[in-house]
Structure 1
C-alpha cells in the first residue's frame, strides 16, 4: 500500500516530535512518502499529484483547512473527472485525517478521537483492516467542502478571527465569541438583508442576512460542545441550510443563545432551516463574505451549491 502524508508544519496541535512519531507509525502500515506544505493551496497540488501517481491513501496532518485543500486536490484529479460510471469514491485514493488543528470539525464529525495519538491509532487499524466509509461532499461553484460553507455573518466572523490570528492571537472559542460580538456591533447588513436562495422547483427564500450550509452535523464546536443548527445534516444526504432574516442584535443574540443552550432547536420568525437539498444558488444584491470549511475566501455575490454524493472514501 502506497500512502502520502501531507503535513501542515504550522498545525497548532502538533510538534516536530509528534510528527516524527506519526511518520514512524504510518511507515509500519504503508510505503510512505511525507511532504510538508509550504504555502496556502499547496496541499491541493500535493494530493492531486498523489492521485495521479496511483497512491492508495492520502493522509493529512493539520486542521480543517489542510483537509479541505487535500480533498479539492483529490476531487480535481483526472480519476475524479474521467466521466466514468459510478461514484468518484472508488476511482480515487482514500483520505485519512489525523487531527492537528485547533477545532478539527471534520475529523470529529467522522467520530475520530480529538487527539492525534488516538486518531492515528484508529487510522492504522483502518488501514490494516481495509475499513473505510464513503461520504458525500458539498461543492460551491468549483470548490468542494467537507462540512460547511457560508455567506454573510459567519464568514465575516471567520474573517475577523483570521485577521486576529495574523496579529498573533490564538484560535479559541472566546476569540470567536468576541469576533461575533464585534461584527454585530459594526452594523453588518442589519437593516437590509441582501441575500436570496434560489431552489430549483421551489419558491426559494428572500431577505436573508446570513446563510450557513451544512454537509454534516454538527456545524462546528465551541470547545467540547457541538453547535448544531441542523442536527439531521449528514454525509449520507444532501445539503442542509440554516439562514437568518433578521440580524438585529436582539434577534441574533436570541438565536445564538438557542444554539448555545438548546443545540439543534433554533426557532423564530427570523430562522430558515432547510434539509437534504440537492442544489441551490445564493444570490446577493451586494458582495458578501464567503467561507468554506472555516477558511475565509473573499467576497461573492453569487454561489451555486451542489451536493456530491458518494464522493470520497475516508479511513475512520
Structure 2
C-alpha cells in the first residue's frame, strides 16, 4: 500500500518527534512519502495530486483541523468517488475536533497506535461531509462545522492574533469571543441573517448560525461543546441559530451548550434543525464566514448541502 503523510510543521502540537515516530511506524508497513506543508493550501494541493495520480491508497494528515480540511478538499477536488485514497488523521492542532469526533485519542502518539491497529485490521468507516458554496470562492467541503455571522467573526479575530504571532489556545478563543460579543451590540438585538430551506417559510433575524456535520461542535480543553447534539457523520447537516443574544439569554445558553445530556440549547430565541439536505443563509450586509475554523472572509450568502458517504476514513 502506498501512502502520503502530509505534515503541518506549524500546527500547535505537532513536533519533529511526533512526525518521526509516525513516519517510522507507518514506513514499516507502507510505501511512505512524507511531505511538510510550506504554504496555506499546500496540503490541499498535495492531496489533490495524490487523488489524481491513482497510485496513492492512503493520505495521512498530521496537523490540526485546518490541515485536515485542506486534505479533504484536495481529495474531493473532483467530488466523491470509490476510487479516492482513504483518509487517516493524527491530531496535531490545538482542538482537533474532527479526529476526536471520530473517537481518536487527542494525543498524537496514542492516535498513531490506533491508526496502526486500524490499518492492520483493515478497519474503516465512510463519513458524510458538508459542502458550502458562496460567490467568489470555489466550493468548500467541511468535516465538522461551518459558521456565518457571529462565530465566524470570533474565528476571524483569532486568526488576526495568530498572524501576529500568538498561539492558538482555548484562552485566546474565549477572550476574543467575549470581546466580539460586546463589540456586536446592534447585531445581538436584531440579527441580519435569513435562513431559507426549500419548501419552508424563511426564518429571519438570526444573530448566530452554526452548521454542524457532527457533534460535538467544538471542545474547551477536554470539555465538549454541543451546539447540535443530534448531528452525526451518517446524517445530513444540522443548524443551530439564535434570534437574540441578550446577556441574560446568552448566559442561559452557555450551560446548555456544555450539557452532555443530549438535549442541546433550547428557548424561544433558539432555532434548531436536524438532518437538513440543503439550505441557504443570506444577509443584506456582508458577514464573516468560516469552515472548520478557517476564516474565509465576508459574504452575503452561503448555500449548504450535506453529502452522505463522501469519504472513507481509517479509524
The answer to whether the aligner puts 1:140 opposite 2:94 as a matched pair is: no
State the alpha-carbon separation in 2 of the partners of residues 262 and 8 from structure 1: 32
State the alpha-carbon separation in 2 of the partners of residues 262 and 125 from structure 1: 30
State the SS of the aligned residue for 1:90: coil
Aligned to 1:254: 252
Aligned to 2:176: 179
Q: Structure 1 pair 62/162, CA: closer, same or farther in 2 (3 Å)?
A: same
State the alpha-carbon separation in 2 of the partners of residues 109 and 98 from structure 1: 13
State the alpha-carbon separation in 2 of the partners of residues 166 and 20 from structure 1: 27
Q: Would you say the 8 A contact 2:282–2:301 is kept in 1?
A: yes
State the SS of the aligned residue for 2:118: helix
Cα drift, residue 15 of structure 1: 1.4
Q: What pairs up with 1:217-232 in 2 under 5 angstroms?
A: 217-232=215-230
Aligned to 1:239: 237
Q: Would you say the 8 A contact 1:89–1:134 is kept in 2?
A: no
Q: Would you say the 8 A contact 1:197–1:204 is kept in 2?
A: yes
Q: Would you say the 8 A contact 2:87–2:313 is kept in 1?
A: yes
TM-score (norm 2): 0.94
TM-score (norm 1): 0.94
CA RMSD of aligned residues (A): 1.3
Aligned to 1:274: 273
State the alpha-carbon separation in 2 of the partners of residues 154 and 74 from structure 1: 27
State the alpha-carbon separation in 1 of the partners of residues 104 and 91 from structure 2: 8
Aligned to 1:57: 58
Q: Which runs of 5+ in 2 are unaligned?
A: 134-138
* Farther off after superposition, 169-178 or 101-110: 169-178
Q: Would you say the 8 A contact 2:47–2:71 is kept in 1?
A: yes
* Farther off after superposition, 267-276 or 162-171: 162-171
Q: What pairs up with 1:38-117 in 2 under 5 angstroms?
A: 38-54=38-54, 55-77=56-78, 80=79, 88-117=80-109
Q: Which runs of 5+ in 1 are unaligned?
A: 81-87
Q: Would you say the 8 A contact 2:226–2:259 is kept in 1?
A: no
Deviation above 4 Å: which 4+ runs of structure 1? 261-264
Aligned to 2:136: none
The answer to whether the aligner puts 1:286 opposite 2:285 as a matched pair is: yes
Cα drift, residue 89 of structure 1: 4.9
* Farther off after superposition, 88-97 or 107-116: 88-97
State the alpha-carbon separation in 1 of the partners of residues 248 and 163 from structure 2: 31
State the alpha-carbon separation in 1 of the partners of residues 63 and 42 from structure 2: 13
Aligned to 2:13: 13
Q: Would you say the 8 A contact 1:7–1:61 is kept in 2?
A: yes
Deviations 1:149-187 (A, max 9, x none): 001111111111112222332222222211111011112
Aligned length in residues:
307
